[in-house]
Every structure is written in structure tokens, then in C-alpha cells.
Chain A
Amino acid sequence: MEKLISKKDLLEAANISYGQLYRWKRKNLIPENWFIRKSTFTGQETFFPKEEILQRIEKIKNLKDDLSLDELADMFSPSPTITSLSADELVKRNIVSSTAIEMYNTHHGNTATFSFDQLLTLYLLDTLLQTGEMNRSEGMELLHFLQQHANEITGQESELIFIRKMGVSFFILTPEPAKLLVESQTKIIAHYKLNKYIEELKLKLS
């Protein structure tokens, strides 16, 4: 079970007011499904997933001086922003490694510019490769897998899970939040919230 934080404790911990919290909710900076209502002895109380909300508020507080609330909402939303970048620029700006682009090109054929969806695929591939937990042939499988399910990734809050048992690896894509139980010999190598990566990518691009 995820750790929850009550609204009262959250306001205290993050040093914000009710007004700010409600405003951010209105501006879609905090997703609706993070508001978890429960009855307590003092009546109805609202709880939030602790880690996520604190991280999100920290980000909002850091960025709100540079970006407008609407721009922030764009960044946090799971739907893609319209951008396309060339392969050269991606490497130059250090967004993904040239190895990842090379692998992508082997799989998809030569691609000159990348749309946001393609960038996300590339970014996930690169991140997994960088961890050293995934080998190249698994990377190719990931590319194939993400291509097949491209529609399910964008505009939704989903999670990518990568597991391995005795050398055989699997990818799983599921709507958030996934509670996955695996047998003891199985290793969960990666459990990625795609939303987080979309945010990171948007930050790097902007």
C-alpha cells in the first residue's frame, strides 16, 4: 500500500495554503485521482499519495516563477506536446545517447526527425540501457513492443514494467497504478511510471 498523507499534514509539510492547493487542482496541476477521500472521526478527509504529491508540489514551487500555471499544466499532463527534433540535435543536447538512436534506426529504418511519441520511446530505451540492466536484444524487443502499443501509451497514465526470470525477460504495459505480485525467482528490473518520464522529457525539451 502506498503511503498516504492527509491534506492537513500536506499543507503543513509543503508550507502551502488551502487556496493554493485548490488553485493548482483547478489548473490541473494535480490529477483528480490523487484526491483520495476517506471518512475519519472528524468527518470526511482528503488524502494524497505522499511521495508523489510532495514531489509534484516541490516541482510546482520551483518552476512557477519561470512558467505560467498553464504551461506547467501542459508539462504535467500525460498528453504529448507537439515537438519534433532531429537526431543530431538530440545527441547534441544530451537528451538521449547516440547508441539509442542507432538502435531505433535499425528497428524503424532511418528517422531524420522524431515526434514526441517517438522521442518518448527513445527516451525510455535510453534510460533502460543506461541502467545497464537491459541488453541490446531486449532493447530491440522493447522498441517492437512500444511500437505495437503506441496508442495505449500516449494520453494515458500507464506504467511500464520489465521483469526477468531465469534469463527470460518480459515487458508489461498497464494502466496506473499497477500492483504487481511476482514469484520469488522473478526479478522486477524496472517499474516506470510513464507520466514521470513524459514530465522529465518535456523538461529536457523545453
Chain B
Amino acid sequence: MEKAKKRNISISGSGTAAGGEYDQVKVNGSAHINSDIECEIFKCNGSAHIEGNIKTATAKVNGSSHVEGNMEAREMIINGSTDIDGNLTSSEVKIQGSSTIKGDLKGKEINVRGTASITGNVSSDEIDVKGQVIIGGDCEAESFLARGHFKINGLLNAGNIDIELLRLCEAKEIGGENISVKRNLDFSGFKKILKFFMGQEKDQLTAEVIEGDHVSLEYTHAKVVRGNTIEIGPGCVIDRIEYKQSLELDENAKIGTQEKI
């Protein structure tokens, strides 16, 4: 049987469409889609409201969109704002604007240049944050790179964790192979302006437990740090350190107890 060619929808102005299978869905004004939708390309330049789930190969949101169900996309770019009430599954996600996901976020490459807030868990091969991320659950990745503000209420678990501090960062627990936390030394104009508006908040990472094979920390407040090789830099306040092979301490670090195991 020959497959019927899928049709396009294009809404310019304000309109309502039924769900279903389409090739391209383009919204230039404001659109309301009544049920689940499946398409190849989803592009929204105005505002879109989808009452069901959406499944698409590529999604680009330049305006604002609200999905009441789950969203599945192979590739997704958010330049405006997107709210998803369910889960987002996408191999490549780029968030340049802001987005709120009430469920879980699953991907292969997650790139945040704006603000993202996820109520559930995040898992991905790579996570790169140069903005702000708030995660309600756990965060798992092979590589986690952050140059900005993040708050993780659960466990941050990644093979390589590379954090350059900017303002307050927080995670309940951190675990992985290589963990490196450094203060951002770039005092360029942008950061000065940011500091001016945000107030003189200190760059600092707070965590209860940090465990890894190779741990190197600066300006970190933690209750327990455990690892094979540990380097503690300036500005650290740590209640207890347990290490296997080596421990290097900066003279400006405040350490409670330390023990070689």
C-alpha cells in the first residue's frame, strides 16, 4: 500500500488545528493544537499551545510554546521559551532562551545557554551549561560541563565533571571519576556587569558529599569529600576528608578532619 503523503499545516495569525500526523507544522501567529501531534518539522515563531504529546524530528521554537504532554524530538532548539508539562526526550537539545520541564529530560547532547528548570531527573551523554540550570531530581551524564549557576537537588553523577564557578552552585551529592571545580578567573566586562546586577554574591559550590577518583576543588563547601587523589585549593571549607592515595591542601583551606584509608 502506498503511504499517503503527509500534509503541512501553517498557521499565520491565530488558529486552531486538530492533532494528527503532518509533515511540517509552522506557526507564525498563535496556534492551539487540540490533541497529540506527530510531524517531521515543528517550527514556532509566535506562540503555540499543544494540548497533547508532540513527536517530531526537528523542533525550533523562536517564540513561546507550551506542551501539556510529553515531547519527543530528535533535534530541538529553543530560542524563546518552552514549557513542557511532561517529559522531554531529544538527542540534541539546545536551550538558548528559557525552558521549564515538569517531567524528566533525556538526551544525548544537552546544551544550555539560557535558563532551564527541570523538575524531574536529567540524563544525557553530554551536558554543557553556560547559563543557569535548576534540577529537582538527579543529574546523570558522561560529561558535565558548567560555567554558570546550577542547583541540583539530588545526585550529580558524571564521568567527568568540570565546573567553573560563577555565583552560587549547589548539589546535594556529587560523584564520578574526575571532578574539577575552579573559580572563574575571567574578569571580563560581562562578568563585572553581571556582578553589578546580581550583587556581590560569592562564587561558591556547596555540596554535602563529593566522591570521586580524582577530585580537585576550589571555593567549595562540603561536609565530606572522599577520593583516591584529592587536591584542595583556596577557599574550601570541608568538614571531613577521606583519601586513599594522596592529599594536597592549600594553606587557605579550612579542613575539619582528614584520614587516609
Contact B239 A43 (CB under 8 A): yes
Q: How far is the CB of A14 from chain B (nearest CB, A)?
A: 14
A18 and B223 form a contact (CB under 8 A):
no
A151 at the interface (CB under 8 A from B): no
A23 CB contacts on chain B under 8 angstroms: 159, 176-177
Q: Which residues of A contact B212 (CB under 8 A)?
A: 18-19, 22
Cα separation A18 to B178 with both chains bound (whole Å): 10
Across the interface, do B240 and A26 meet the contact criterion of CB distance under 8 Å?
Answer: no
Contact with A along B218-261 (1 / 0, CB 8 A): 00000110111000000000011010000000000000000001
Interface size class of B (residues with CB under 8 A): 20 to 34
Residues of A near B242 (CB, < 8 A) are 8
A25 CA / B175 CA spacing, docked (Å): 10
A43, B224: Cβ atoms closer than 8 Å: yes
The chain A residue with its CB closest to the CB of B228 is: A17
A-chain residues with CB within 8 Å of residue B68 when the two chains form the complex? none
Question: Which residue, B140, B175, B209, B261, has most C-beta atoms of chain A within 10 A?
Answer: B175
Q: Is the CB of B213 within 8 A of A17?
A: yes
Which of B123, B177, B228, B239 interacts with A22 by CB under 8 Å? B177
Q: What are 23 A-to-B residue pairs whose CB atoms are below 8 Å?
A: A7-B211, A8-B226, A12-B261, A17-B228, A18-B176, A18-B177, A18-B211, A19-B159, A19-B176, A19-B213, A21-B175, A22-B175, A22-B176, A23-B177, A25-B175, A26-B158, A43-B223, A43-B239, A43-B240, A44-B208, A44-B209, A44-B223, A44-B224
19 further interface pairs, Cβ-Cβ under 8 Å (given A18-B212, A22-B176, A22-B177): A7-B211, A8-B226, A12-B261, A17-B228, A18-B213, A18-B226, A19-B159, A19-B178, A22-B157, A22-B175, A23-B177, A25-B157, A26-B123, A26-B140, A43-B209, A43-B239, A43-B240, A44-B208, A44-B224
Give B contacts to A, CB under 8 Å: 123, 140, 142, 157-159, 173, 175-178, 208-209, 211-213, 223-224, 226-228, 239-240, 242, 261
